[in-house]
Structure 1
Amino acid sequence: MSKFTIDDLIKEAAEAHKEGDYIKEKNSYQELYDLYKHKLGENHPDTLIVLGNLANSYSCLEDYNKALELNITLYNARKEILGEKHPDTLIALHNLASSYSDLRDYNKACKLQNVVYNAFKEILGENHPNTLSSLNNLANSYSDLGDYTKALEMKNAVYNGRKEILGEKHPDTLRSLANLAKFYSCLGYYNKALEMRSAVYNARKEILGEKHPNTLAALHNLACSYSDLGD
């Protein structure tokens, strides 16, 4: 019998994560998972949420094999209960793909991310935020495989989709533009990266002010672009 209540364990896990104490976080979620499984059953929604958190704790501890094992269990449970194309099942499949990526099985990860993206596109449409997020994840998988042309094409599509739906200065759009600029920089397109990073910095300065952490991060990235160009 645990000496902690469920609320105590939830609070303890959250605080441990915030502090970066992933061992303590993992132990709290393990105890919470065992309690939920005993009280509610292993396939109860609350139990499965905690299982996902526990898998993430193992991932933070770089125990990727254990995280993979738990994510497989979670995905199979979600699929059985909710069906293959329920959003929660697709999120579990994305997390499973991330575990394969952590283990450097990039082909398997890319295959699963393709399934997630195509399902979201079919269900929600190609410009829904969840679909665009899954497309960004798929782009990262192609990048891991060394297919930078395909990855760049997808990242551009993510940025253009977010710009169309959310506007040029929405935080998600600016984050996407910053990621795209980073990708161009890594490929050696320094002038293109500079142009994009200038746009991100100016937008964040206008919206957040010069001394906001996000503005300062954008300024740092802009400085890196000038450095890349030897300026």
Structure 2
Amino acid sequence: MRLASTYRGQGKLESAEQLGLEVLTTCQASLGTNHPVTLTCLENLASTYQNQGRLSDAGDFRKRGLEISKIVHGETHVETLMLMSNLSATIRYQGRLEEAKDLGGKALRRMREAGLDHHMGVPMARLAVTYHMLQLGPEAEALATRALRLMEEIYGEGDLYTIYAMVNLSIICQSQNKLEAAKDLAETVYARRERIFGKDHPVTAAALENLRQISYAGGSEGISRRLIRGLTG
């Protein structure tokens, strides 16, 4: 499983898919369908399909994984609710925004009811992107702000998920013409990436380019295309 994830992280998606299918078949044969390891294999393969742009396949695998998790862990377990959030992100990529909003909101409500507040940062940030794409700017900003604060508290300021959430909040602010706030956030992202990765790393260069776009362009044109994929699972 780790090698398949490594291939996916390196962009070797065909190799990741082939190995992921082999591992899934082995797990199903040796452990059974309703097993936590099999569930992990399904989710990893769904992530590979999503990275390939095969959104229908990704959605199908994530639906299967969610149903298995309900059996293995229960409907209110953190693993089940995180998988529900993952599925909502895939549905959003399919353009089914209202469904994504409803499912992502359901995952958050159940997390809150189950006292899983410490796990809500990433699902909250994902839902904020869905709100943004539905042109619900104030709601998106409020949710993205809460997500960022929670992730800074839980994961730390230098965590990649925290930085991804900050990028998205910057873009959401820019879409509402709150350019000073957007610029301040983008400057912080650039500084953190430079400190963590170095000046010449591609992600640092991307942060600098984002800062330049905010500084010189402004407005909302093309902003949705720049919302990053780091929180989509």
Calculate the TM-score normalised by the size of structure 2. 0.79
The C-alpha deviation readout for 1:12-44, integer Å capped at 9, x for no partner, is: 524532442322221221122112111111112
Spell out, residue by residue over 1:200-223, the C-alpha distance to the aligned partner (whole angstroms, 9 max, x if none).
445555x54862635554433333
Return the match for 2:172 from 183, 194, 197. 183
Identify the residue that residue 88 of structure 2 maps to in structure 1. 97
Query: How has the CA–CA distance of structure 1 residues 36 and 211 changed in structure 2, closer, same or farther, with 3 Å as cutoff?
Result: same
Give the percent of matched residue pairs that are identical in Structure 1 and Structure 2.
Answer: 22
The whole-number CA distance in structure 1 between the counterparts of 2:91 and 2:198 is: 40
Looking at structure 2, the residues matched to 85 and 61 of structure 1 have their Cα atoms a distance apart, in angstroms, of 30
Give the aligned partner of residue 227 of structure 2.
none
Q: Which has the higher contact order (CA 8 A, sep 6+)?
A: 2
Distance 1:115 1:227 in 2: 39
Residues 167 and 186, structure 2, Cα contact 8 Å, conserved in 1: yes
Q: Distance in 2 between matches of 1:67 and 1:73?
A: 10
Per the alignment, residue 134 of structure 1 pairs with: 123
Q: What is the one-letter code of the residue matched to 1:145?
A: L
- Contact preservation (8 Å) 1:166, 1:173: no
Greater C-alpha Rg: 1
Aligned-pair CA distance for 1:170: 4.1
Q: 2 CA distance for matches of 1:69 and 1:227?
A: 42
Aligned length: 216
Kept after mapping to 1: 8 A contact 2:35/2:72: no
Is this contact kept in 1: 2:59–2:91, CA < 8 A?
yes
- 1:57/1:196 CA distance change after superposition, 3 Å: closer
Name 1:211's counterpart in structure 2.
199
The structural deviation recorded for 1:160 is: 3.3
Instruction: Please say if residues 208 and 215 of structure 1, whose CA atoms lie closer than 8 Å, have aligned partners that are also in contact.
Output: no
Paired residue secondary structure (2:61):
helix
Q: Deviations over 1:67-107 (max 9, x none)?
A: 22211111111112211111111122122212211221111
Which of these residues, 213, 222, 225, is aligned with residue 224 of structure 1? 213
Structure 1 residues 22 and 121 mapped into 2: Cα distance closer, same or farther (>3 Å)? same
CA 1:46/1:153 → structure 2, altered by over 3 Å: closer, same or farther?
A: same
In structure 2, do the counterparts of structure 1 residues 46 and 181 end up closer, same or farther at CA, with 3 Å as the change threshold? same
| 1-structure distance, mates of 2:6, 2:189 | 32
Gaps of 5+ in 1: 1-9
Alpha-carbon distance, 1:113 to partner: 0.5
- Give the counterpart letter for 1:211 in structure 2: K
Q: Deviation of residue 195 (structure 1)? A: 2.7
In the alignment, which of 56, 61, 65 is matched to residue 65 of structure 1? 56
Displacement of 1:168 = 8.3
TM-score (norm: length of structure 1): 0.80
Determine if contact 1:167/1:173 at 8 Å carries over to the other structure. yes
* CA distance in structure 1 between the aligned counterparts of 2:64 and 2:77, rounded to whole angstroms: 16
Structure 1 30/216 Cα, relative in aligned 2: closer, same or farther at 3 Å? closer
> Could you tell me how far apart the structure 2 residues matched to 1:117 and 1:74 are?
18
User: Equivalences for 1:74-93 in 2 at 5 Å?
Assistant: 74-93=65-84
